[in-house]
Chain A
Amino acid sequence: MKELMAIIRQSKQKETLAALVDIGVVSVTVHSVNGRGRQGGNIMESIDPDMPGNIESVSKIYKYPTPSSMAGDSTLTKPVFWVPKNLLTIVVSEVPVEKVIETITKVNRTGKPGDGKIFVLPIADALRIRTGETGDAAIL
């Protein structure tokens, strides 16, 4: 049993879930989270590369700038933001992990920063509350 945690764009959620159903993964937990990656949440750079690190002008566009964009001692040179993302948690036993990864990657790949990450974690055990089944039977 493996747990997959996939952080994806919110706009791709419907498409991803539909693609997962096609390969037989129907049980998914979705969290709405905020995140940032190696670019430090610097989404402005892709919109306007010439934009200076003018915090005030950015604050007008975005209602909630992050602490980093307001902080003087930040190590990042440009304003950064928390980017809204969806976190999908999937526990698989029968469907191969590689197939799920491939499906998520295929649907979500745009080639631009912000496509997301997939983490694979081991799961010790699972239990279905309704029946008390444990192990693989609980997630099939």
Chain B
Amino acid sequence: MKMIRAIVRPEKEDDVVLALEGAGFPAMTKAHVFGRGKQKGLQVGPVHYDLLSKVMLLLVVNDEDAPKVMSIITDNSKTGFIGDGKIFVSDVESAYTVRTGEGL
């Protein structure tokens, strides 16, 4: 299993979530986070924004579904400008459902 942590623009959250839901991935966790990237925030005239608001989506999917989920997120959150976000993928050794105590 793979854990996919996607950091996307807050205004694109709806698009991404709907697309994932339509593709059969309704289960996810989201958190509102603040972050910055290579550009160290945003400079608008004299004002410097150090941390920018983002939404982090956290999904755990099967190995074979990971590329599909990543392409869905990319397609729906891409604007072509800086600040589109990142997707991180990490290995999950095991997962358990608390209700039944069984491994997935």
Contacts and interface: CB of A to CB of B under 8 A. Distances in A.
Contacts of A90: none
A121 B91 contact: yes
Contacts of B98: 6, 8, 104-105, 108-109, 115-118
A67 B3 contact: no
Interface string B28-69: 111100000000000000000000000000101000000000
A113 B99 CA distance: 7
B92 A73 contact: no
Given A105-B96, A116-B98, A35 B18 contact: no
A36 B29 CA distance: 6
Contact of A35 (B13, B28, B90, B104): B28
A interface SS class: mixed
Given A36-B26, A76-B26, A110-B99, A119 B60 contact: yes
Contacts, number: 98
B3 A75 contact: no
B94 interface: yes
Contacts of B58: 33, 87
B29 A119 contact: no
User: Chain B interface residue count: which class?
Assistant: 20 to 34
Interface residues of A, number: 45
B71 interface: no
A69 to B, nearest CB: 11
A40 B24 CA distance: 10
Interface string A82-95: 10010100000000
A36 B27 contact: yes
B80 interface: no
Closest 7 CB pairs of A and B: A35-B29, A67-B14, A115-B98, A115-B99, A40-B26, A118-B96, A33-B31
